[in-house]
Amino acid sequence: MGDKGTETGVAAMAACYQRFDPAAYLQYNYTPPRADFERKDSIVPWKLECLHRAFNEGDVSGELLVDIGSGPTLYQVLSGCEVFNQVLLTDFLEVNRQELRHWLQDEGSCSLDWTPYLQHVCKLEGRRPSAWTEKAAKLRQAITDILPIDVHRPQPLASDILPSEGADCLVSCFCLESVSPDLPAFNRALGHIGKLLRPSGHLLLIGALGESYYFGGPGVKIPVVPLNEAQVCASLSENGYTLIRLEVYTLPQDMRVGVDDVSGVFFVKARKD
């Protein structure tokens, strides 16, 4: 697809997202069987374990962690908020930012109860599950803001948001491939978010493998760029990252619940050159 085609594709993706339904999306992806904390092979515990390990190897540090395309979810910053004093959440859609604000303000009107997630990460950290209230307080204290972002813009965040050298670490889960019309747009988006990261800063990237669509709500079918591991690695290297680790999860049959056609999930830990 040429530049014009990609531009049209990006606009079409933005139009698709206007019907995104945070509560339905959470229900599809963040309840059992995909979030079954009794099962080692459930997708959410796998993601939490990858993030826990990546944040606790001693090489990831600094002051500011930015989550790119947070959506209505918090799981991706539950380990990071113990390492970084400041956590910035971002999303393209106001409905998702609103969902996150409900949790932040502890308004009791959240579409999902994050307690089992907080408890599970406490366990990973060797703390008693009842420490989850302290973790929730820590996260609420660490989140400095919830801001609009567009990864298709060369400058995805407003110009005065980040320190001039950039954030110390980026985390981004299921965002770039689910908002890009094709592989060149995915590559470019990875380049755009790289500008938000300081040299030698870390990128923790989680995403779908072999996925061509997912449902963002009832009847809201959102196209996805089907990626393989080689394409993810090539895109990282083209955009000036050194790969530290790539892990792959293959979806068990009973996790294929009809809300997408994902076949696996990748987890990447990389360092900006």
C-beta closer to ligand SAM: residue 142 or 185: 185
Residue 272 forms beta bridges with which residues?
Answer: 241
Evaluate whether 216 touches 16 at the Cβ level (below 8 Å). Answer: yes
| Cβ nearer to ligand SAM, comparing 58 with 261 | 261
266 scored as a contact of ligand SAM (CB under 6 A) = no
Q: Which residue is nearest to ligand SAM (CB)?
A: 71
| Stretch of 89-97, 108-116, 130-138, 231-239 contacting ligand SAM, by CB under 6 A | 89-97
Element (H, E) at 257: none
Nearer to ligand SAM, 7 or 127 (CB): 7
Q: Is 25 annotated as a binding residue?
A: yes
Which structure tokens are listed for 162? Answer: 């980040």
Per CB under 6 A, 213 contacts ligand SAM: no
Residue closer to ligand SAM (CB basis): 75 or 241: 75
117 belongs to the binding site for ligand SAM (CB under 6 A): no
Residues 6 or more apart whose CB falls under 8 angstroms from that of 37 comprise 44, 45, 116, 119, 120
The answer to whether residue 177 forms part of the interface with ligand SAM (CB under 6 A) is no
Span from 98-106, 136-144, 171-179, 197-205 in contact with ligand SAM (CB under 6 A): 171-179
Sheet containing strand 167-173, strands side by side: 143-148, 86-91, 64-68, 167-173, 197-209, 264-272, 241-250
Question: How far from chain centre, in Å, is Cα 146?
Answer: 14
The binder of ligand SAM chosen from 43, 65, 122, 149 (CB under 6 A): 149
**Does residue number 151 form part of the binding site for ligand SAM (CB under 6 A)?**
yes
Question: Is residue 69 a contact point for ligand SAM (CB under 6 A)?
Answer: yes
- Encoded tokens for 238: 């083209």
Whether 241 has a binding-site annotation, put simply, is no
Give the range of 70-78, 158-166, 227-235, 237-245 binding ligand SAM by CB under 6 A: 70-78
70 is in an annotated binding site: yes
Is there a contact between 250 and 264 (Cβ–Cβ < 8 Å)?
yes
Q: DSSP string of 72-108? A: T--GGGTTGGGT-SEEEEEES-HHHHHHHHHHHTT-S
7 lies in the site for ligand SAM, by CB under 6 A? no
Q: Is 91 known as a binding-site position?
A: yes
- Angstrom distance (rounded) from CA 238 to CA 218: 37
Which residue from 60, 179, 196, 197 is in contact with ligand SAM, where contact means CB under 6 A? 179
Select from 93, 121, 265, 268 the one that contacts ligand SAM (CB under 6 A).
Answer: 93
Question: Cβ of residue 72: shortest distance to ligand SAM, in angstroms?
Answer: 7
Q: How many CA atoms lie within 13 A of 77 on its CB side?
A: 32
Residue 101 vs residues 9, 75, 119, 124, 153: alpha-carbon distances, Å: 30, 15, 21, 26, 24
Contacting positions for ligand SAM (CB under 6 A):
17, 20, 69-71, 73, 76, 91-93, 96, 149-152, 173-175, 178-179
